[in-house]
Structure 1
């Protein structure tokens, strides 16, 4: 099967399995001329593009995220790191031509039958068993010859490869698919189908390769499937379509399916196309003529901690943590290239799927010669599939020694590589014709193979000596092409699988090797734990990744908040919907002040984000009065006003109406079509959709729960459109990609959309990420969509685990650097760096609070923010004797901090919000005093003596609402 057709079959597979406020300027300025780089102490301070130093984009990379102001101010803040514009380290690439390709180049994969993951996005009732085992122990490596790397200017040096040539061995594979009925409105393939790949046979060796049908492995699950899709029909008629999105697609013009805008591989088709794709633990980027090797191939990097740059220490925080740490960009440890690649080389991106994409390098547009590099999250080998090229393995770090080693099995030729930085790598060459490729070391940057060569080359780092080499040998020859997720929830426990489609040589008997992140390992079931290996590699921002053998992983999430509703919730008591009489008296005394605010004015803004926050705020306020306060009549008028305000958006008559972007496929704000890429947080560019739309979904869930007559087909369709855009469960939806924001590999969402970023995607607001999952859960509950409700519950469970591991750092955190965890929260976590700051300022209340890690405070907050974490954070940063006492904070941040205090000290939180001298300027525009009182009362019963005569003084408290 040619690779250009694999996308079609893969999409068919996914289809079968899925059938059922005010913003300031954006971070990027194209006119920026002043830039700087920063290096570790003692390193050169001049620009270094490759070698063993690389460059460090220590700017916050303002391109891609507008500055978010505080709840009570709208002024821009200077770059917290004091670095403006783009970094001068990009000077060599900034002016390279950015020609667009007119069409896809033809693919190549003639000799690779494929096993595909089953039960992807479909019911977990597909009952199959895992057959993956650890690789058999291989004989000790035999070094038949060695070659010391010549000096950089030496004319030539070679390796003596004396391995025996052989025909490619017979490979048999296939996949049987299980699927269930679709809820899509369009015609679907049959509910049960099998996908068989047919190998092209163009040489004598190819004649031994066949395809048949064999079942891929996945652990059986039971319970509510979390990926039953919503109807995939057209978007509401009030939303008009546009085909002129300001960001063009580079090299993907022929892809007509929805494109994942927020996934790890976006650098392949944005800007200079040289941004790193972080697969973890490896980084892969197009060299595009840069570095010591001046290569046009695909560079592979893996950085150890010794090259990481640390920011300055913050003496205002106990423990004096560093402000940030950052990995270098541009270190080209190994490069998959070819002699034919040069200045005319083009990069295309193909097969753009939720967990994978193919990077394709061709000497010229339209050439049938190509290297296809499948990029899959967690891949154990970086693999290049060559078609009729002279392979050239390069290094910008310099080869120190290359050793021809004994073959792991017939048809696989192995080389051991030592680089000048002391790291050890393995190279496996699998020729299509089975003949010894006889690679020759020509210089300390070039290791060249035969001309006109077709086959596969795999590269991997070996951190574990002889034992690691045996394990890597055992999985050489096969590699992942793509992945799929499935999951279910039953009786408060969740299970989800990641299944990897593999291809390669001797497929059935060769197990796949992939890398798992710490939160995966922590939740593995016993079967998956038994397939973990001793190989571990550092990731850029998430601790160490562990190599795991097998095509499927099963993760368990117990204690999901399945019973959580709209009421205050605690870990020990669950829902708290019966407040004391004293609490109700205070709440109902305070509520009229906020109920009388203009919902229409506060939600009629030029921002989907702030408009959504306002609607969610009033929905929560109305619910509090209606259900928790027990006075629906008091809230009745506000509920009608809320429906009217919400209808403005359903009718698409807000200041910047939504449009359907038919280029990338999604619903976006029209604000940036006028030229300002930073308008509304870059919503038009797919920034923050889970934040923006999550507030609308949450508000709709409350409205529908209070008045079921509001749940008309048109209202539900509009809200479901937002769900499909930001958190789609369907892989075959022609209008939206699968799970745009939430990354089921990383266990959290990515906020950055279509902005070029050398530090990769980033996530700033863990609390709003949690809010989106909670909103899905509650909207699903409101409309009776059990799958959506279960998906929200499972996402909450995964988020609690991933945020604990990477973002909300308790003192015993093992995944962030020891000299960083005293910050307590990451601030902004990129794929390549972590920076304890925000896009709008460095105040601790900004970083720890606002939407970054606290706001909005919802029933889901105590589930994700553990009491131990909140206590450590409060005592270190906000207590009376701490660095930045909450009592000294001004504006809306003060309310945020004291609402968060309810998680560990609800009495003090209640007393703060119930005080007779309360100042409404302490309340963020997206929150209410009424809800904060109920939130605290859910964990605290105030005595009558603490009423503070609120009922008699509410009209004059603090000068009224802000």
Structure 2
């Protein structure tokens, strides 16, 4: 079935033309909301990663030592969600054969395609993709690796998109017992935010287990009481046994596309097996064994041999901070044994750029192209350890990374007068009516807009009368949501574990199917954090006690850090391996998970920081700071393209931003239209104190010069206001001068008060 997305309201409440031709097919309901797949996939070009400085907020951290991990279990009490959220089952059931020990199941993670719809779309562990191939003659779990030379680019200069071909069955793990699509079923266990155990099962005694861990270097299949079969749709040009030991045999395959794959076969002690070529597309084992392990890798580097036999099954995340440095570490739990005692793991460019000295000292075993994030390096290791610069001084107050202006906010009397004039008008607007919408996203933007006005009234112009006017109005408006009396109330989904809209899957951008939760809820969290802070300093300090459980339920929905929380999955949105969030929820997609707005991803982590500050929750502050530090690196490699970007395809860099970033393609467009201002500025909204930490002055000035200044005067709606506030990230003067005039366009989530206060802070 094909679904088309309805038109999206644009800034200023205007409606713009039909969205681009995005669509997505689902083999079983639900109707798809706003995260749809391209009609024709786009393709990628080659690339080599280079480490570069991200101007002034980055420093060398390789020899800094940090002690003391963040305790993820100390962040929130794992209480049931508040009773205001009616508990119900989701209309989309969990797939068959899920054993997750009654814990919530992830909705936005890399293995999602195997759990929804047909269950046959690819999942990307990077640098590989895997999928359940049910189509004859090569049935099983298929594996592909796409080289940079295979990427496909769209038309235009710069090209609108690039993508990697999908469906190329380089190798397929199967069995001689697998003769029809109905012979085996898919099963799942140990579903975590960075790994999953997938089973291709004939029955309880005969099955193949596939540990899927992001970055795994050797694709591993453990056969139980089945005769192994390895197929390829590409064809085998040559096949040879290279070495044979007591328990491990190494084979080398050259496929018809001239790609070399190594195959390692590990058998239990005392057992024997031979792999022979049955025909030009098929290898077959000589026996059915229990615990026969087969591993493949799309490279023949000699050091891979000493990692063979060992494979990751799970990844533990550790985080810590010290001063303005944050550390995060992936610790891999492994099975099997290898000569080096470790396994082979691949790292993305943003990992490599933030490696510690110890990690940098490790030799690179081999390199493989990723789909859309440059070249991946592989290492013999059981952990990755990275350090990032974190925005320790970032809080509620305007913040900049412009050189020479980062020593604190200074307001002239003229700026303060302009802010006061704007605030005196805007506090009299009808917050309650304006925010009474059928969308958590748009209502959240309105509430956050007025919260920033409130912040300005209390802490910048310090006008008690204005605070006394706006604070009760904002409390009343947000109470509609805190009491769950909004147009589309939220409910607790017992099936997957989350707070979702009571609307249909096509309403509110697919919130009910877990699309965009970090976008939607972060605006409400920021509004709540500012209310909490102001109420503490200027009110009766009662609001936090009354509303804390509601706010933290929203946070736990998209950013719960604790594996002990039985009501929400761990880090639903933020993908610690990819270095950013994914917005797509329970919808299958031929190109995997995606995200359209890197800036609202930043806003989601910034919301955690502000709530942590408002409630004095240091572990939450630390998590937020580390996420922001990671985003500063990853966003500037994969979403925002400075002229010196060396990770993305050179031809594509001239787009300056990604547009929609999928796991398998990037398309310079949006889900709501193709206008250049939409595409560029969806990666800028909202402009907050956190914006400058990620959207560096260097990048913003380049984008202004190359993309925005030629069009800004012709835009006569709220997008002009967004562009001009974005300009404050590199030139506050031109931004302030724009807002300090009678004729100003504003986005419906943007106030004149905040625009003047932010742009005027660093003149």
**TM-score normalized by structure 1?**
0.73
In 2, Cα distance between equivalents of 1:732 and 1:889: 50
8 Å contact kept, 1:725–1:737: yes
**Aligned match of 1:698:** 526
**Aligned match of 1:201:** none
1:744-788 per-residue CA deviation (whole Å, 9 max, x = no partner) reads: 111100000000111000011111000111110010011010010
Matched, 1:429 2:265: yes
**Aligned match of 2:588:** 756
1:674-707 per-residue CA deviation (whole Å, 9 max, x = no partner) reads: xxx1101111100111011100110111011111
Q: 2:92 aligns to what SS in structure 1?
A: coil
8 Å contact kept, 2:7–2:15: no
Q: 1:775 aligns to what SS in structure 2?
A: helix
**Aligned match of 1:800:** 632
1:501-548 per-residue CA deviation (whole Å, 9 max, x = no partner) reads: 1001358x5211100000000000011112241401000010011102
In 2, Cα distance between equivalents of 1:338 and 1:386: 9
8 Å contact kept, 2:239–2:277: yes
Matched, 1:439 2:275: yes
Q: Could you tell me which of 926, 930, 935 is aligned with 2:758?
A: 935
In the comparison of the two structures, how many residue pairs are matched?
719
In 2, Cα distance between equivalents of 1:220 and 1:873: 37
**Aligned match of 1:387:** 224
Q: Could you tell me which of 164, 167, 177 is aligned with 1:327?
A: 164
In 2, Cα distance between equivalents of 1:263 and 1:434: 40
8 Å contact kept, 2:217–2:297: no
Structure 1 residue ranges without an equivalent (≥5) = 1-29, 33-61, 97-218, 314-319, 941-962
| 1:438 to 1:687, Cα distance in 2 relative to 1, 3 A | same
**Aligned match of 2:495:** 663
Q: Could you tell me which of 350, 354, 358 is aligned with 2:197?
A: 358
- CA positional deviation for 1:938: 1.2
**Aligned match of 1:307:** 150
1:881-912 per-residue CA deviation (whole Å, 9 max, x = no partner) reads: x3xx2111121100000000111121111111
8 Å contact kept, 1:690–1:772: yes
Larger mean CA deviation between 892-901 and 340-349 belongs to: 340-349
Q: 1:626 aligns to what SS in structure 2?
A: helix
- CA positional deviation for 1:69: 3.5
Matched, 1:685 2:625: no
8 Å contact kept, 1:66–1:682: no
8 Å contact kept, 2:67–2:320: yes
What is the 5 A alignment of 1:138-177? none
**Aligned match of 1:448:** 284
What is the 5 A alignment of 1:201-220? none
In 2, Cα distance between equivalents of 1:834 and 1:703: 38
8 Å contact kept, 2:70–2:622: yes
In 2, Cα distance between equivalents of 1:785 and 1:79: 42
**Aligned match of 2:78:** 232
- CA positional deviation for 1:459: 3.4
In 2, Cα distance between equivalents of 1:79 and 1:651: 34
In 2, Cα distance between equivalents of 1:539 and 1:74: 40
In 2, Cα distance between equivalents of 1:84 and 1:254: 32
Q: 2:364 aligns to what SS in structure 1?
A: strand
Matched, 1:368 2:205: yes
1:6-26 per-residue CA deviation (whole Å, 9 max, x = no partner) reads: xxxxxxxxxxxxxxxxxxxxx
- CA positional deviation for 1:604: 1.0
- CA positional deviation for 1:580: 1.2
1:330-372 per-residue CA deviation (whole Å, 9 max, x = no partner) reads: 0010111111122212111221111111111123xx4420001
1:62-113 per-residue CA deviation (whole Å, 9 max, x = no partner) reads: 6xx7764421355464453x46565xxx9xxx699xxxxxxxxxxxxxxxxx
Q: 2:209 aligns to what SS in structure 1?
A: strand
Q: Could you tell me which of 495, 514, 522 is aligned with 2:353?
A: 522
8 Å contact kept, 1:224–1:786: no
Q: 1:819 aligns to what SS in structure 2?
A: helix
In 2, Cα distance between equivalents of 1:616 and 1:838: 23
Larger mean CA deviation between 588-597 and 731-740 belongs to: 588-597
8 Å contact kept, 2:10–2:16: no
**TM-score normalized by structure 2?**
0.91
Relative contact order: is structure 1 or structure 2 higher (C-alpha 8 Å, sep ≥ 6)? 2
What is the 5 A alignment of 1:29-68? 30-31=1-2, 68=8
- CA positional deviation for 1:307: 2.1
In 1, Cα distance between equivalents of 2:511 and 2:87: 16
Q: Could you tell me which of 218, 242, 251 is aligned with 2:96?
A: 251
Matched, 1:70 2:10: yes
Q: Could you tell me which of 343, 346, 352 is aligned with 2:181?
A: 343
**Aligned match of 2:395:** 565
**Aligned match of 1:723:** 555
**Aligned match of 1:893:** 719
Matched, 1:405 2:242: yes
Q: 1:707 aligns to what SS in structure 2?
A: helix
Q: Report which of the two structures shows the higher radius of gyration computed on alpha carbons.
A: 1
1:407-432 per-residue CA deviation (whole Å, 9 max, x = no partner) reads: 3x541111100000000000011112
**Aligned match of 2:367:** 536
- CA positional deviation for 1:711: 4.2
In 2, Cα distance between equivalents of 1:537 and 1:822: 25
Matched, 1:473 2:299: no
Q: Could you tell me which of 283, 287, 312 is aligned with 2:133?
A: 287
- CA positional deviation for 1:634: 1.6
Matched, 1:222 2:67: yes
| 1:506 to 1:460, Cα distance in 2 relative to 1, 3 A | closer
**Aligned match of 1:842:** 674
Q: Could you tell me which of 747, 763, 771 is aligned with 2:603?
A: 771
**Aligned match of 1:169:** none
**Aligned match of 2:58:** none
- CA positional deviation for 1:254: 4.8
Q: 2:342 aligns to what SS in structure 1?
A: coil
- CA positional deviation for 1:576: 4.0
8 Å contact kept, 1:767–1:861: yes
Structure 2 residue ranges without an equivalent (≥5) = 30-63
1:844-901 per-residue CA deviation (whole Å, 9 max, x = no partner) reads: 100001xx2010000011110011111111110122xx3xx21111211000000001
8 Å contact kept, 1:357–1:375: yes
**Aligned match of 1:204:** none
8 Å contact kept, 1:242–1:659: yes
**Aligned match of 2:384:** 553
8 Å contact kept, 1:600–1:645: yes
8 Å contact kept, 1:66–1:679: no
In 2, Cα distance between equivalents of 1:764 and 1:903: 21
- CA positional deviation for 1:242: 0.4
| 1:815 to 1:506, Cα distance in 2 relative to 1, 3 A | closer
| 1:309 to 1:623, Cα distance in 2 relative to 1, 3 A | same
8 Å contact kept, 2:365–2:380: no
- CA positional deviation for 1:223: 4.6
**Aligned match of 1:168:** none
Alignment RMSD (CA, Å): 1.9
8 Å contact kept, 1:309–1:326: yes
**Aligned match of 2:535:** 707
In 1, Cα distance between equivalents of 2:15 and 2:686: 22
In 1, Cα distance between equivalents of 2:243 and 2:326: 45
